[in-house]
């Protein structure tokens, strides 16, 4: 019975990997072209592949458009990400995952079947510094009663309320809401 539970746990954890398929030749073609664009540092060509607005890890603002992407290119495409992409093999390191798109390795990057970049799950040192400074700024700007948190998860607004969800660490989260008219 114990072995069956262990087997089922492993199966559940690995299930996303079971759905990955080898990349079709037509997808390998545009992935190869993308890899070359990254190798040559062709920001213009890469910017045409981005699906805007391009979300970054909260509270880092999304990349609004092509001009914003080109300005922030080095912040997003750091040495680590560039190496992962340029050393990748379209046939071995990229795989199709159904409606989710095409992923590099185990989800480092996602591209839709039209060749548009929809997600990059890599955070450069520069983005990490930016994130930490934005979090520190938020901690100073909120009421002291809610200024103690690890990182913000979401800030939402309705017509009447501002809602804030924060990660307090150790799997603890806080929900706070107040009138939209108040700071």
Are 66 and 48 in contact by the 8 Å Cβ rule? The answer is: yes
pLDDT tens track of the chain, all 183 residues?
555 555 555 555 555 544 567 888 899 999 999 999 999 999 999 999 999 999 999 999 999 999 999 999 999 999 999 999 999 999 999 999 988 999 999 999 999 999 999 999 999 999 999 999 999 999 999 999 999 999 999 999 999 999 999 999 999 999 999 999 988
167 bridge partner residues: 151, 173
22 half-sphere exposure, CB direction, 13 A CA radius: 4
The pLDDT score that the predictor gives to residue 137 is: 96
Q: Using alpha carbons only, how large is the chain's radius of gyration in Å?
A: 20
Q: The tokens 């997003």 sit on which residue? A: 76
Helical (H) or strand (E) element with 67: helix 66-76
Q: Which residues contact 6 (CB under 8 A, 6 or more apart)?
A: none
Are 124 and 81 in contact by the 8 Å Cβ rule? The answer is: yes
The pLDDT score that the predictor gives to residue 14 is: 53
Q: Compute CA 146 distance to the chain's CA centroid, rounded to the nearest angstrom.
A: 27
Helical (H) or strand (E) element with 73: helix 66-76
The pLDDT score that the predictor gives to residue 21 is: 75
Supply the pTM of this predicted model: 0.79
């Amino acid at each position: 019975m114990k072995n069956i539970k262990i087997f089922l746990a492993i199966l559940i954890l690995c299930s996303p990997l079971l759905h990955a398929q080898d990349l079709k030749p037509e997808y390998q073609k545009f992935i190869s072209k993308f890899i070359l664009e990254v190798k040559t540092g062709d920001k213009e060509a890469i910017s045409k592949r981005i699906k805007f607005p391009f979300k970054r890890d909260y509270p880092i603002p999304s990349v609004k458009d092509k001009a914003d992407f080109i300005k922030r290119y080095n912040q997003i495409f750091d040495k680590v990400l560039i190496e992962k992409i340029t050393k990748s093999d379209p046939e071995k390191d990229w795989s199709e995952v159904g409606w989710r798109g095409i992923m590099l390795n185990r989800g480092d990057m996602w591209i839709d079947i039209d060749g548009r970049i929809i997600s990059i799950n890599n955070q450069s040192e520069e983005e990490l510094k930016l994130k930490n400074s934005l979090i520190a700024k938020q901690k100073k700007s909120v009421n002291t009663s809610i200024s103690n948190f690890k990182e913000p998860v979401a800030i939402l607004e309705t017509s009447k309320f501002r809602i804030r969800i924060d990660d307090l660490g150790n799997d603890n989260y806080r929900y706070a809401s107040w009138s939209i008219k108040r700071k």
